[in-house]
Amino acid sequence: MKKNEVSACEDVERRKVVKGIVGGIAAVTAYSLLPARWDTPLIESVFLPAHAATSGGNSNANDGSSNKQNRNIDGRWYLMDIETGEVYERDVYTFENGKFSGFDGYGTYSVVGNTVNIVNDSGFSLSYTISSDGNTLIPPPKPDGTGFYSAWRRG
């Protein structure tokens, strides 16, 4: 065998050694790039695309379950005083297919999980929580702390 000739067996062994060295160097390099201390990621808000907030089918989930499916609120609703429970029979509204109309106005609504977002014809909007039995839309408190907005009661 001449000096420059290498047997096939020695060539294979050399390749294995070189692969091991390169792999070890890559592992050490990757390890050195990792941070010394991990912190909890901070997520302050999540924005849904406009179509995601309003798309999807309604389900009739008025069984009090805490699922995240959209609740069906189509039908007749009456305004109600949330503090006294008094229902105003003359203040009837019809909710259907994302629109509502009633004795003194109209507008649109969307249901996302257990929340109903209502926007009236003048652009005023409120978010109501659907009660566990599905028969009351619970209003938010007024910003000035003087009570609550009117609730809605299924008719």
How much is the pLDDT for 21?
92
How much is the pLDDT for 28?
86
**Mean local confidence (pLDDT), 86-105:** 81
How much is the pLDDT for 144?
85
How much is the pLDDT for 36?
76
CATH match of 71-154 with 3.40.50.300: no
6-50: pLDDT as tens digits = 566 777 788 888 888 988 898 888 888 877 777 666 655 555 555
Whole-angstrom Cα distance, residue 52 to residue 110?
A: 11
3-state SS, residue 21: helix
How much is the pLDDT for 108?
87
Whole-angstrom Cα distance, residue 73 to residue 147?
A: 25
Listed by start position, the domains of the chain span 71-154
**Mean local confidence (pLDDT), 101-110:** 81
How much is the pLDDT for 106?
81
Cα 72 to the chain's mean position, in Å?
17
**Mean local confidence (pLDDT), 74-94:** 84
Element (H, E) at 24: helix 8-33
Structure tokens at 28: 């050490």
pTM score above 0.85? no
Would you say the C-alpha torsion 7, 8, 9, 13 has a positive or negative sign?
Answer: positive
| Residue pair 95/74 in contact by the 8 Å Cβ criterion | yes
Whole-angstrom Cα distance, residue 119 to residue 109?
A: 6
Inform me whether the pLDDT recorded for 148 exceeds 60: yes
How much is the pLDDT for 4?
55
